[in-house]
Structure 1
Amino acid sequence: MSYVNPSELATKMIDAGEAKVFMSTRDTLIRAYMAGAILALAAAFAVTVTVQTGQPVVGALLFPVGFCLLYLLGFDLLTGVFTLVPLALIDKRPGVRLRGVLRNWGLVFAGNFAGALTVALMMAVIFTFAFSVDPNAVGQAIGKIGESRTVGYADHGAAGMLTLFIRGVLCNWMVSTGVVAAMISTSVSGKVIAMWMPILVFFYMGFEHSVVNMFLFPSGLLLGGDFSVADYVVWNEIPTVVGNLVGGITFVGLTVYATHARTGASRRRPAAPAPAPVAEDAGVLVQ
């Protein structure tokens, strides 16, 4: 069967988190770099489709192709390790310590950022003919995204920061649901279908994904967006990372773990009712 039942799924999630804790530095960085680069290309693709068709839903429908590719190739996103790696610590797997969890997160963040930044530089060259002309329509759209999702939040102060954080929470609720749902199937088609749906939701709804933003905002700065590096860091990346962490571990990792790996005690069944009196002889009932 190509379906994995929920209890087996929970074990697979914990095993995956444990494996990532003990993965070598080299492999962790390479896998994170490639994940960041592929997701950045998918974001550039989705923005291009949206600008050219004028239909954001078309871009959202096609964006998940990048996520599916990087997952099937075994690459790692920060949003995914936020959800899976802590489970190995919570489950008290031998040798798993908080330091190992934080090490994994730091390496994946660095690798994702390097991969996304590489694609941002390449796409900026394409959009401007190596910075010899003004950005094309897609480049201008990316610059506007950077402005609206940094200074746009800052204009609302604390309310903007809360909105940004909640969008980060909702984003990784959906993205990590895609990561976990892919583990339910052992077939490629099943994995792709399971991943596609929640990733489409997050992208179309405009939720904040820390790794996608590692591409969009450096690109926006390179393409003339009217915001600063400080705006990007304070009014997007940091709150988004925190929101992604809370959303992934709270609404996906811990919920699956709590109800399928560490299930609660079953309620006691009520006692069976006593049997009705029966007659020993015809017409005579036992009192």
Structure 2
Amino acid sequence: MAYVAPKEFVTKMIDAGEAKVFMSTKDTLVRAFMAGAILALAAAFAVTINVETGQPLAGAILFPVGFCLLYLLGFDLLTGVFTLVPLALIDKRPGVTLRGVLRNWALVFIGNFAGAFMVAVMMAIIFTFGFSEAPNVVGQKIGTIGEGRTVGYAAHGAAGMLTLFIRGVLCNWMVSTGVVAAMMSTSVSGKVIGMWMPIMLFFYMGFEHSIVNMFLFPSGLMLGGNFSIMDYLFWNEIPTVVGNLVGGITFVGLTLYSTHYRTGAKRSAAAARTMPAAAPVPAE
């Protein structure tokens, strides 16, 4: 499946980050909007599978279809640009500035939210027959997800906030690994296999993904979830965004960049030969 060596795909990561900094406002927003919408549809799909089969693993196995589609179509998630775009700044690519990085993040956030919110409204209409009756079982489930992952964290205070943050970190460790995995192969099948595995892991483990939550929580509010907009922002979205940023850039972007692109100086063979031998272990 035409595997691409780490040094080559890390170069692709930096190039991609640079291209996103200079992308037009229109293209950035359109690509982010579509990414948020497709991922939201995948989340609705996975929750429906979980409710109707009673098997959370089934939803986790099939959820990555949305992620794979949006990246094959060249759309952008906030979690991905958190990892890729800073590398162009760290690598001192000409014209790449901190302001350009922040601009990209802000535009992608807005586009992702708009796309996910549009799908949230559409799915709320479906789950309630145009708000003419109570939510169906899938709609009720989405409402309870919103409660458990907002006021559920709040009930634990600082420990809940720490747990939420760590779940955000672990989420984008996996999601950004999926983004990078798409660059590990030059074939569609190779890209899909590489992306599928870490995305399935994050979804089944219940880690916190800021864009998935842009769908789950607004739709939960529309479907009768017992939490507020402030609960959503303070006890989920904002800490999740921060955790996603830390997880993506720390455990994926910087680690790959530092060891495959800015590699350390190699030890010389002569130096290795002159190292003292380990002391023999005395016999019993």
- Same fold, judged at TM 0.5 (above): yes
Aligned to 2:163: 163
Aligned to 1:44: 44
How far, CA to CA, are the matches of 2:98 and 2:243 in structure 1? Answer: 20
One-letter amino acid of the structure 1 residue matched with residue 35 of structure 2 = A
Deviation at 1:270, TM superposition (A): 3.0
TM normalised by structure 1 equals: 0.94
How far, CA to CA, are the matches of 2:253 and 2:85 in structure 1? Answer: 9
Aligned to 1:283: none
One-letter amino acid of the structure 1 residue matched with residue 180 of structure 2 = V
Aligned to 2:9: 9
One-letter amino acid of the structure 2 residue matched with residue 63 of structure 1 = F
Q: Secondary structure at the match of 2:95?
A: coil
Q: Secondary structure at the match of 1:183?
A: coil
User: Which consecutive unaligned segments of at least 5 residues does structure 2 have?
Assistant: 274-284
Q: Secondary structure at the match of 1:184?
A: coil
Q: Secondary structure at the match of 2:192?
A: helix
Segments of 4+ moved more than 2 angstroms: 270-273
Within 5 Å, which residues of 2 pair with 1:234-253?
234-253=234-253
RMSD: 1.0
User: What does the per-residue CA deviation read over 1:32-56, in whole Å, with 9 as the maximum and x for residues that have no partner?
Assistant: 0000000000000000000000000
How far, CA to CA, are the matches of 1:251 and 1:271 in structure 2? Answer: 31
* Alpha-carbon distance change, 47 to 95 in structure 1, aligned in 2, over 3 angstroms: same
Deviation at 1:272, TM superposition (A): 9.5
Within 5 Å, which residues of 2 pair with 1:141-220?
141-220=141-220
User: Which consecutive unaligned segments of at least 5 residues does structure 1 have?
Assistant: 274-287
Aligned to 2:108: 108
Deviation at 1:271, TM superposition (A): 6.5
Aligned to 2:280: none
Higher mean C-alpha deviation, range 129-138 or range 2-11: 2-11
Q: Secondary structure at the match of 2:74?
A: coil
How far, CA to CA, are the matches of 1:244 and 1:97 in structure 2? Answer: 21
User: What does the per-residue CA deviation read over 1:87-143, in whole Å, with 9 as the maximum and x for residues that have no partner?
Assistant: 000000000000000000000000000000000000000000000000000000000
Larger radius of gyration: 1
Q: How many residues get paired? A: 273
User: What does the per-residue CA deviation read over 1:7-47, in whole Å, with 9 as the maximum and x for residues that have no partner?
Assistant: 11111000000000000000000000000000000000000
Deviation at 1:213, TM superposition (A): 0.1
TM normalised by structure 2 equals: 0.95
Higher mean C-alpha deviation, range 264-273 or range 21-30: 264-273
How far, CA to CA, are the matches of 1:5 and 1:205 in structure 2? Answer: 29
* Alpha-carbon distance change, 87 to 230 in structure 1, aligned in 2, over 3 angstroms: same
User: What does the per-residue CA deviation read over 1:219-256, in whole Å, with 9 as the maximum and x for residues that have no partner?
Assistant: 00000000000000000000000000000000000000
How far, CA to CA, are the matches of 1:206 and 1:218 in structure 2? Answer: 18
One-letter amino acid of the structure 1 residue matched with residue 226 of structure 2 = D
One-letter amino acid of the structure 2 residue matched with residue 222 of structure 1 = M
